Amino acid sequence: MSQWENNEQSPLSFNPLPSETIPRYAGIATFMRLPHYAPDACDGTEIGLYGIPWDGGTTNRAGARHGPRQVRDASAMMRKVHPVLKLSPFELANCADLGDAPVNPLQIEQTLDLIEAFVTKLTQRNIVPLAAGGDHLVSLPILRALADKHGPMGMVHFDAHTDTWDRYFGGCKYTHGTPFRRAIEEGVLDPKRVVQIGIRGGLYSENDDNWGLEQGIRVIRIEEFNEMGVDKVIETARAVVGDQASYISFDIDCLDPVYAPGTGTPEIGGLTTIEAQSIIRGLRGLNLVGADLVEVSPPFDPSGNTALVGATLMWEMLCLLSEKVAQRKR
């Protein structure tokens, strides 16, 4: 038998294709080789992996619109059991690929609404959302939908940039450099429960970071990061976000460009994948209600290596989310 059966009326299956018997390059490419269901017909799903193929907020090199498809392809390399956390997300929670959120490449604000509505559909069904972007602006409507359910969110934010700039090109409020300023202004993100990790690169002006710092964001620039070391960073991050509902937003450009050349705004001197994996694992047990992995831009890395990194980090986050889902079921 070659494939998961996806149009039965019996209870849905949530098993990924088994790589021991079906080679990884075989079959329709879905996230982690999971079955694909539409959000309207996914009864039983507890964690919904979905794509947001959109880069309408990009100010420099576009291409993240192609991210979900390449990440799906690369995610076929994932296996079932996490070797360090000693758990299998697919046993802890019902996971499925819920397809892509609807988007309009030519309309920014309409798309923000479409994404919010899509995620709201998931949260209303108690499905934990795990997204593959898309540029970083997509985190704004996700946070809106989550805050609607959970209240102002805490966030562990991996990035080379703070993304708290105000406006671009003479007045544009909604760009991939502004989502968290908007989210804080709108009250969907609680700045005192936000930690930003890996920030670096030149500034437009000396005051670039001030607004965020004034709101109470804990910014760990790369120089401080390297001095603190991974364990201290984890400790700080956990302390900042606390016990309440929190989110992980992972911009792939947090990593050094050698690990992730396929992105729009690379900045040299970033995190290694080992560091990123270690920190995510260190967030185990936080009260996570969603996560995203954004800014994978395939045209700038046709090899797919960036997408492999992205897929593996999604897998790491999925492990945390599934454990939390299981805990909540108990």
Q: Among residue numbers 216 through 275, which ones bind its own copies (CB under 8 A)?
A: 221-223, 226, 256-259, 261, 265-269, 272-274
- Which of these, 35, 136, 84, lies nearest to 280 by C-alpha position? 84
Enumerate residues 131-170 that contact its own copies by CB under 8 A. 168-170
Residue with smaller CB distance to its own copies, 215 or 278: 278
Report the site for its own copies in 70-89 (rule: CB under 8 A): 72-73, 77-84, 86, 88
Nearest to 199 by CA among 235, 248, 239, 164: 164
Cβ pair 78, 315 in contact under 8 A: yes
96, β-bridge pairs: 48
Contact range with its own copies by CB under 8 A, out of 103-111, 140-148, 183-191, 233-241: 103-111
What single letter denotes the amino acid at residue 188?
V
Give every CB contact of residue 114 below 8 A, 6+ residues apart in sequence: 101, 102, 103, 104
For the CB of residue 285, give the shortest distance to its own copies in the complex, in Å.
Answer: 18
Answer yes or no whether residue 204 interacts with its own copies by CB under 8 A.
yes
Binding range to its own copies, per CB under 8 A, among 4-12, 138-146, 210-218, 232-240: 4-12
Q: Is 228 exposed, middle or buried (0-12, 13-18, 19+ CB in 10 A)?
A: middle
DSSP structural state of residue 277: H
Q: Quick one: 239 or 268, whose CB is closer to its own copies? A: 268
Within 297-326, the residues that bind its own copies by CB under 8 A are 299-303, 305, 308-309, 312, 315
If one asks whether residue 125 binds its own copies (CB under 8 A), the answer comes out as no
Site size with its own copies, rule: CB under 8 A: 109
